[in-house]
């Protein structure tokens, strides 16, 4: 359960980097429909990803690896790192509804 939550959270944080938000509007509503994620939120997301996913000492701690299948721990962390990098480098991201 813990690992699934971690993967989901990393995915949500990743969307902030280079993210575009969509606010659906009718023809008579003023304002932008598409807005870039605020720069401070993007910076915070990069700092979070660096600290919690890409710093090897954090990702490879035995306390973390014990929560993942023991025979697959390092590979699982490496896959999450690889998938996150692929997501970050394959922009532009789809617009996210702002609700």
Q: Contact, 97 vs 35, CB < 8 A?
A: no
3-state SS record for 24-59: CCCCCCCCCCEEECCHHHHHHHHHHHHHHHHCHHHH
Q: Mean pLDDT over all residues of the chain?
A: 82
Do 34 and 22 touch, CB atoms closer than 8 A? yes
Residues in the chain: 99
Query: Which pLDDT value is given to residue 92?
Result: 59
What pLDDT digit, counting tens, does each position of 57-90 carry? 555 666 666 676 666 777 878 888 999 999 888 8
Where b means 16+ CB within 10 Å and e means fewer, 24-49 reads eeeeeeeeeeeeebeeeeeeebbebb
Least confident of 4-13, 15-24, 28-37, 57-66: 57-66
């Amino acid at each position: 359960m813990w690992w699934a939550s971690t993967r989901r959270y990393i995915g949500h944080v990743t969307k902030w980097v280079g993210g575009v938000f969509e606010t659906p509007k009718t023809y008579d509503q003023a304002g932008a429909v598409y807005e870039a994620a605020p720069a401070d939120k993007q910076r915070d997301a990069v700092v979070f990803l660096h600290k919690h996913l890409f710093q090897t000492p954090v990702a490879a701690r035995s306390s973390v690896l014990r929560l993942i299948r023991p025979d697959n721990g390092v590979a699982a962390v490496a896959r999450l790192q690889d998938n996150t990098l692929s997501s970050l480098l394959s922009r532009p991201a789809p617009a996210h509804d702002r609700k």
